[in-house]
Amino acid sequence: MAIKDYLRERFFPHLWCSGCGHGIVLNSLLRALADLGMSKNEIVMVSGIGCSSRISGYVDFHTLHTIHGRALAFATGVKLSRPELNLLVPMGDGDALAIGGNHFIHAARRNIDLTAIVMNNRIYGMTGGQYSPLSGQGIMATTAPYSNIDYDFDTVELAKAAGATFVARSTTYHTQQMTKMFRQAILHEGFAMVEILSQCPTYFGRKNRAGSAIDMMESYKENTTPIGSKSKMENPDLIERGIFVQKEVPEYCNEYDKIIEKAMKGR
Amino acid sequence: MKEISILIGGKAGDGIRQAGQTVSTLLNRIGYRIFFYDDYPSLIRGGHNFSIIRASEKRIIAHKDSVDIIVALNKDTAEKHKSRLNAEGMILYDSKAVDTEGVGIDFMQIVKQLDGLPIMRNTAAIGALAKVLGIEWPVVERVMKDTIEKQVALNLNIAQLAYEKVGTSRFVIEKLDQKSLPLVSGNEAIALGAVRAGLNMYIAYPMTPASAILHYLAAHEDDLGVVTVHPESEIAVALMALGAAYAGARSMVGTSGGGFALMTEALSLAGQGEFPVVFIECQRPGPSTGVPTYTMQGDLSFVVHAGHGEFLKVVLAPGDAEEAFYLTGLAMNLAWKFHIPTFVLSDKHLSESIFSFAADPDKIKPEPPLIWDGQGKYKRYLDTQDGISPLAFPGDPAATVKVTSYEHDEYGITTEDPDQIARMQEKRLRKKEGLIDELAKNEQVKIYGNRESKTVLLCWGSTKGACIEVAEQLGLKVVQPLVLKPLPIDPLRQALSDADMIIGIEVNATGQLAKLLSGHGFGIDHMILRYDARPFTVDGLLDKVKEVIS
């Protein structure tokens, strides 16, 4: 299927600011779906609220644009009643890990077959540049005008600890890698989490003197490195990219079927 | 009237509820109608638990403060409840634990003699009670075989030895010539009503007094076929239910006030996105954690007004097991017909009490929703004359189903256009006309007692049981609205127009139904409120009503 067919072009131009990384994420995601030859009707996209969540308005899939932080809970309900559908759950950093943090760890723990995408721009864009649990110390934000004192989560470590069976990270600079990761995440049977570092030049960039969108993307190139690379050993501050976890563990809906079979035994 | 009330009491962990249920079954088997009330603290072990089994030749849905027999497994039971005994009443007690007058038997000695477990003391008590009641041994034997799951022979021996130790019977409980009915709790009736209306998925987080719905449906996954899920919080519960409904599953959630507080966010989403979901709210005393294992009708205002923004919802308030069954079925069908959230408002007293159940299961059928005909491009929020947009579900190759929490156009795409916004708000609210017509096909306000009386006892929910019996004794009329939102104004007006005196009777501190009705021009003359976390009893309420009307 042509990528164009996945889009609802009449809603373009999209509402993301110029230079925003979220459009690149959408691009890579659609390429991954096209590579996999998926039809529109086998996909349900569930998003929450925030800049990232507006992604569901631009795709011609079954979509649920739900409420802030709740996309994973909602998606779990859809998946449980229609396990044959492919669930994509794009979320922002605040969406997934502040208000939605509880649903995030529990969906991971359950190992339900969903693809969670955390579009991490380290800031709340839609509501005006407040810090998020992924901003980290020293970051300037509307709610931290003298710099942030909160420590940040490491999304990858959090997902791993919570039991996610596919955990990966890339950036908007590394689009080929991102597309490949999305393909693998979608094919993975179980809870897959892909974190994408995505630039917000409007709020994060301006408040933190991070330069233009291009400067921010270049910083992704400079400040990240493949998992286990030599440069990581030399410079521990580098952020690793790649697939951290990929393991086969019984999936929730399948396990549920087995329980029903067990309960029905002899009937 | 042939009737008897028995109180069984002991510590938490003594198996009091179980013993009470077995006694209920015993009396049920010989043709009596049962009402079973369970009073227990929020404890796993210790404290004071008691159950009251009231059995009568006629249908009853309330208990009395006064009892004929007290079965005391501990000292507390005898001391706390002695004053309840009727003139002819007696105490059957564990002579090792209690020092009082009546029939004392060393239950533990019997258990030890037969190498039983300490918990089997309640089996001994049941055996002794059966003899006190003059019930023939073969009946006891059959009931115990049917109700006891483990070590049947041992339990039977213990019961029989205790039965024999009593010697002579103190009461003569005749076998009645009427068929036994199933004994069903309010929560079970709710679950069964939902199942009859096509329930596919029940999602809940544990919270007393709603938890038993989840336990029951989970235990019956094999024969009722309902998928049950217990997720991380009530927030997740409500969202999962909405997600399931979007995908075409008939879903229901259940909780008490504190859990429902967390669900109100999703409730508004159900309003905006037009999701069919059934909410069961089993009230308990609040605010906050309140008194977790007791009863209150304190969430009526909360539930009726819950959710930000303006949207349609239905609130139904059953008062007994049959109503719980029918109204839950109705709630499910209304949710799917109008794509709205619907509520069944229960409370601990209804949910956890046990009733002789005489509902007709064929009165509930799953009514299919309006499904998209496949013509043209699918619009989830098609603006129709009655406001109901045909449904399609994800996976449908011809439809793209887009729903959203934002205001939206007919396709489900976010909009900020003023005309679109007004149009969609009108579309959703327009469904109210059809909803009111549909509700009018059902009984919305029940009337009991003396229909000609100008004195009305106005009640809702589980309070009806005590009200009906009081009204019958005093020749008064009872009015019980079953639908609390949208309020059935005309039927209420008809029921109340002749009244000289309306007495509002509620288990809360502020008279929430009275307040709701006063907003529609109904004046309530007197209030009888109880807010000590206990339900009204027949004799307790009788005295209060007499005071008001004298």
pLDDT of B13:
86
How far apart CA B522 and CA B516 sit, in angstroms, is 9
Nearest to A85 among B269, B395, B406 (CB): B395
Residue B264, Cα to own-chain centre: how many angstroms? Answer: 21
pLDDT of A10:
87
- Six-digit token string for B51: 């159950």
How far apart CA B90 and CA B86 sit, in angstroms, is 8
**Closest among B389, B527, B117, B378 to A40, alpha carbons compared:** B378
Nearest to B247 among A78, A259, A260 (CB): A78
CB contact under 8 A, A73 and B235: yes
pLDDT at A68 over 80: yes
B376: left (phi over 0), alpha (psi -120 to 50) or beta: left
Q: Are B201 and B250 in contact (CB under 8 A)?
A: yes
Chain A positions touching B248 (Cβ under 8 A) are 81-82
CATH of the domain at A184: 3.40.50.970
pLDDT at A111 over 90: yes
Q: How far is CA A105 from CA A155, B243, B477, in A?
A: 10, 19, 56
pLDDT digits (tens, 9 = 90+) for B336-355: 999 999 999 999 999 999 99
A120 three-class SS: strand
The DSSP annotation for B146-204 comes to HH--S-HHHHHHHHHHHHHHT-S-S---PPPSS----EEEHHHHHHHHHHHTT--EEEE
pLDDT of A266:
62
pLDDT at B279 over 90: yes
The DSSP annotation for B141-157 comes to HHHHHHH--S-HHHHHH
Exposed/middle/buried for A228, CB within 10 Å: 0-12, 13-18, 19+? exposed
> B343 forms bridges with which residues in the sheet?
B279, B315
The Cα angle at residue A56 between residues A51 and A58, in degrees rounded to 5 = 95
**Sign of the torsion angle spanned by Cα atoms A188, A192, A197, A198:** positive
How far apart CA B502 and CA A258 sit, in angstroms, is 57
Q: Are B283 and B347 in contact (CB under 8 A)?
A: yes
How far apart CA A169 and CA B109 sit, in angstroms, is 69
Q: CB-side exposure of B388: number of CA atoms within 13 Å?
A: 20
Please report, for chain B, the start and end positions of each structural domain, with discontinuous segments joined by +.
Answer: 3-166, 184-363, 445-549
pLDDT at A267 over 80: no
A258 Cβ under 8 Å from any chain B Cβ: no
pLDDT of B148:
86
How far apart CA B321 and CA B361 sit, in angstroms, is 12
- Chain B positions touching chain A (beta carbons under 8 Å): 200-201, 203, 221-223, 227, 229, 231-233, 235-236, 239-249, 251, 265-266, 269, 273, 393-397, 400-406, 412-414
Chain B positions touching A70 (Cβ under 8 A) are 235-236, 239, 265-266
Among B201, B220, B246, the residue to mutate for chain A (most A Cβ within 10 A): B246
How far apart CA B132 and CA B172 sit, in angstroms, is 8
What average pLDDT does range B325-335 have in this prediction?
Answer: 98
Q: How far is CA B77 from CA A27, A49, A69, B82, B170, in A?
A: 72, 56, 50, 8, 20
How far apart CA B346 and CA B134 sit, in angstroms, is 37
How far apart CA B256 and CA B350 sit, in angstroms, is 13
Nearest to A67 among B200, B269, B394 (CB): B269
Residue B1: band (very low, low, confident or very high) from pLDDT cuts 50, 70, 90: low
Report the CATH fold assignment for B184-363.
Rossmann fold (3.40.50)
**Class at the top of the CATH hierarchy for domain B445-549:** alpha beta
Burial B487-511 (b: 16+ CB within 10 A, else e): bbeebbeebbeebeebbbbbbbeeb
A85 Cβ under 8 Å from any chain B Cβ: yes
How far apart CA A175 and CA A25 sit, in angstroms, is 8
Beta-strand (E) ranges in B21-78?
Answer: 33-39, 46-56, 67-72
CATH number of B3-166: 3.40.920.10
What average pLDDT does range A216-236 have in this prediction?
Answer: 97
A58 Cβ under 8 Å from any chain B Cβ: no
A205 three-class SS: helix
The total number of residues written for chain B in this structure: 550
What average pLDDT does range B214-224 have in this prediction?
Answer: 94
Given this chain, do its domains B184-363 and B445-549 carry the same CATH topology?
yes
CB atoms within 10 A of CB B472: 14
How far apart CA B286 and CA B417 sit, in angstroms, is 42
Unique residue bearing structure tokens 């009470």 = B20
> A62 forms bridges with which residues in the sheet?
A44
How far apart CA B71 and CA A211 sit, in angstroms, is 81
Q: What is the largest CA-CA distance in chain A?
A: 68
Q: Are B511 and B529 in contact (CB under 8 A)?
A: yes
Q: Are A194 and A246 in contact (CB under 8 A)?
A: no
What average pLDDT does range B183-210 have in this prediction?
Answer: 98
A147: left (phi over 0), alpha (psi -120 to 50) or beta: left
Q: Are A132 and A101 in contact (CB under 8 A)?
A: no
How far apart CA B508 and CA B488 sit, in angstroms, is 22
Nearest to B239 among A63, A70, A256 (CB): A70
**Closest among B455, B459, B492 to B475, alpha carbons compared:** B455
Residue A9: band (very low, low, confident or very high) from pLDDT cuts 50, 70, 90: confident
Distance from CA of A263 to the nearest CA of B (A): 5
**Closest among B206, B284, B207, B275 to B246, alpha carbons compared:** B275
Q: Are A180 and A243 in contact (CB under 8 A)?
A: no
| Distance separating the N- and C-terminal Cα atoms of chain B | 26
Q: What is the ipTM of this complex?
A: 0.92
Mean pLDDT of chain B: 96
Residue B47: band (very low, low, confident or very high) from pLDDT cuts 50, 70, 90: confident
B493 three-class SS: helix
How far apart CA A46 and CA A76 sit, in angstroms, is 10
CB contact under 8 A, B413 and A82: no
A48 CB-near residues (< 8 Å, 6+ apart)? A66, A67, A68, A69, A70, A71, A91, A92, A95, A96, A100
How far apart CA A75 and CA B44 sit, in angstroms, is 36
Share of chain B above pLDDT 70, in %: 100
pLDDT at B400 over 70: yes
What average pLDDT does range B231-257 have in this prediction?
Answer: 98
Burial B242-268 (b: 16+ CB within 10 A, else e): bbbbbbbbbbbbbbbbbbbbbbbbbbb
Chain A positions touching B235 (Cβ under 8 A) are 70, 73, 102-103
The Cα angle at residue B260 between residues B43 and A96, in degrees rounded to 5 = 110
CB contact under 8 A, B403 and A267: no
Unique residue bearing structure tokens 């007058």 = B101
Q: Are B219 and B267 in contact (CB under 8 A)?
A: no
Chain A positions touching B240 (Cβ under 8 A) are 73-74, 76-77, 80
Q: Are B204 and B230 in contact (CB under 8 A)?
A: yes
Mean pLDDT of chain A: 96
Q: How many domains does chain A have?
A: 1
Nearest-CA residue of chain A relative to B203?
Answer: A77
- Selection from A2-6, B46-50, B544-548 with the highest mean pLDDT: B544-548
> In one letter, which amino acid is B253?
V
B457 three-class SS: strand
pLDDT digits (tens, 9 = 90+) for B468-498: 999 999 999 999 999 999 999 999 999 999 9
What average pLDDT does range B308-336 have in this prediction?
Answer: 98
**Closest among B76, B84, B90 to B52, alpha carbons compared:** B84
pLDDT at A5 over 80: yes
Unique residue bearing structure tokens 């229909």 = B451
- Six-digit token string for B194: 């939902």
Chain A positions touching B201 (Cβ under 8 A) are 77, 80-81
Beta-strand (E) ranges in A121-165?
Answer: 123-124, 130-131
Q: What is the largest CA-CA distance in chain B?
A: 84
A201 CB-near residues (< 8 Å, 6+ apart)? A17, A19, A20, A210, A212, A213, A216
**Closest among A246, A161, A173 to A214, alpha carbons compared:** A173
